[in-house]
Structure 1
Amino acid sequence: MTERLDTGSAAPEFTLADQDGNDVSLADLRGRKTVLYFYPAAMTPGCTTQACDFRDSISSLEGAGYRVVGISRDEPSKLRAFRERDGLTFTLLSDPDHAVHAAYGAWGEKMNYGKVVEGVIRSTFVLDEEGTITLAQYNVKATGHVARLRKQLGIDA
């Protein structure tokens, strides 16, 4: 089990390819509050629900000063297809070896249909402008998560 991060922790550094193959690093995200979320796989039902919820809430999130970035193990080409298929307007990053997932505690043992398996732990982190974690959530549910997050952040729909 990888170590979990908590409020006040420095966000682990990373550089990953986005849906277009361009490198994006944590340093590139500094200067603006960021919602960084880890999800199991593009174009699956739960991940599509969650991504579309972020898409549908992007105006209120951006209006409150937040950018949204999703991270999965999918290759950039699949992320690009996911983004295009569902009209996603935020950055998706590729972490195929799940090293960044592990650094954030979003990889490890979890229950899946009653069995213990190793894989992606659906997680969300809110980072401040300096890259410090102001909110860390593990084992979030795909459905309703974005609405709960907005409420926790004091953001109206």
Structure 2
Amino acid sequence: MLKVGDKLPEFEGINQDGKTITSSKLAGKKLVVFFYPQANTPTCTVEACNLSDNYAKLKKAGFQLLGVSGDTVKKQKNFHSKFAFPYDLIADENHHIIDQFGVWQEKKTFGKTYMGIVRTTFIFDEKGICTRVIEKVTSKTAAEQILEG
């Protein structure tokens, strides 16, 4: 998994509107990249809405946000439209970005072991250096976790 001190990986992804987002275009500002398992699921919705509800505070603190999951562009579009998120969601169906950040890992739920996206938030400074990794994201207070750093 990407760690504190690592550089923002070079990546390219498709957002909810079918537009290409590149990591190089995100440089120069503080960046929050949050990974979530699946669009429109209860916990992911709570997290994404918490970030949306606190977007003004995050923006005032200088952050830009980018959400990433392995969903299709259509699913991301539906999720984005349903909640009117003020930030982009990347559809990383091929797991290029997910693999670069190292968030595709073994998970256990109710005794079952499977591979999936581990809910993780990465924070980068203006120079594209990772300053924090939040591995234990609390969906209801995701924005506070980012701001308290």
Aligned counterparts of 1:71 and 1:136: Cα–Cα separation in 2: 15
What SS does structure 2 have at the residue aligned with 1:144?
Answer: helix
Change in CA separation of 1:142 and 1:114 when aligned onto 2, cut-off 3 Å: farther
What's the offset of the Cα at 1:142?
Answer: 2.3
* TM-score of the two chains, using structure 2 as the length reference: 0.94
Q: What residue is the counterpart of 2:14 in the other structure?
A: 17
Long gaps (5+) in structure 2: none
**Aligned residues between the structures:** 149
RMSD of aligned residue pairs (Cα, Å): 1.2
Counterpart code for 1:109: E
What SS does structure 2 have at the residue aligned with 1:143?
Answer: helix
What SS does structure 2 have at the residue aligned with 1:67?
Answer: strand
Aligned counterparts of 1:141 and 1:110: Cα–Cα separation in 2: 17
What SS does structure 2 have at the residue aligned with 1:130?
Answer: coil
* TM-score of the two chains, using structure 1 as the length reference: 0.89
Long gaps (5+) in structure 1: 153-157
Post-superposition, which runs of at least 4 consecutive aligned residues in structure 1 deviate over 6 A?
Answer: none
Aligned counterparts of 1:149 and 1:63: Cα–Cα separation in 2: 13
Aligned counterparts of 2:54 and 2:75: Cα–Cα separation in 1: 23
What SS does structure 1 have at the residue aligned with 2:139?
Answer: coil
Q: Single out whichever of 43-52 and 70-79 deviates more from structure 2.
A: 70-79
**Once the two structures are aligned, what percentage of the paired residues are identical?**
33
What's the offset of the Cα at 1:55?
Answer: 0.3
